[in-house]
Amino acid sequence: MSQYRCLPMVLAGLSLLLLSTAAAQSVRINRIHNGTERGYNARDSSKIILLLEEADRLKEIPKLDSAVILCRQALQMSLASRDSFLIAMSYYELGQWALGVNKRDEALGYLQKSLDTRFEKEQGSYTAGVYNDLGYLFGTNGEMDKQREWYLRAMRIYDRIQDSTGMAETLSNLSTSSLELGDKPAAIRYALRSLAIREKGHDN
């Protein structure tokens, strides 16, 4: 069957997948964080993590005015602790807040700081999360080529670390981006891969 003839069927499946592109991805903070940074204090670290987790929850409601207050408190404490992971996470949460209130320049600055502080070098799941949000950001600016570039970077990380959830979400994002660029074959290809991963996850 021609890939163009199966497009209506694929697009029907896309309707659910594309909902994930309506907002930036939310990345949960790993509670298991071993303090190896200079000036690390376990009690302070726990407080910062709780602040960031509560800010993440508030962003989803959404109560963005309350969320940003907690993000800024977390950043201030993180800078004092000199813990690069928590500093990077604080910048990341601020970047997501800025995306939520459509402050694109601020969002770009915060997301870039999260990469510069730690995540660019780390090249793990948090890095991929930032890349996804940068893709979303450039998409809101109409820069679809840049959007797809960042999504592809995220996909490569998720593939390497075998994160199926992140991979499925990013493939869905890539499908949407490809549709916007008029690349229907790529949109179908990414959508089918995303659906296959999600279906496999439901079977487990």
Confidence of residue 9 (pLDDT cuts 50, 70, 90): very low
More confident residue, 204 or 113: 113
Is the confidence at residue 116, as pLDDT, over 60?
A: yes
Q: Which amino acid would we find at residue 30?
A: N
Region class of 182: left (phi > 0), else alpha (psi between -120 and 50), else beta: left
More confident residue, 200 or 155: 155
pTM of the model: 0.81
pLDDT at res. 200: 86
Confidence of residue 30 (pLDDT cuts 50, 70, 90): low
pLDDT at res. 7: 44
Confidence of residue 145 (pLDDT cuts 50, 70, 90): very high
pLDDT at res. 44: 80
Contact 7, 188 (CB under 8 A): yes
Confidence of residue 8 (pLDDT cuts 50, 70, 90): very low
DSSP 30: P
Question: 47-94 pLDDT, tens per residue?
Answer: 999 999 999 999 988 999 999 999 999 999 999 999 999 999 999 999
Name the phi and psi angles at 17, rounded to 5: -65, -35
HSE-up (13 A, CA, CB side) for residue 177: 27
Among 28, 66, 74, residue whose Cα is nearest residue 47: 74
Contact 18, 136 (CB under 8 A): no
> Which two structure tokens, joined as six digits, stand for 168?
């499925």
Residues contacting 119, CB < 8 A, separation 6+? 88, 92, 126, 127, 130
pLDDT at res. 28: 57
Please give the average per-residue pLDDT across 142-149, as a whole number.
95
Residue 154 CB-density burial (10 A; 0-12 exposed, 13-18 middle, 19+ buried): buried
DSSP 60: H
- % pLDDT > 90, the chain: 74
pLDDT at res. 10: 44
Please give the average per-residue pLDDT across 102-111, as a whole number.
97
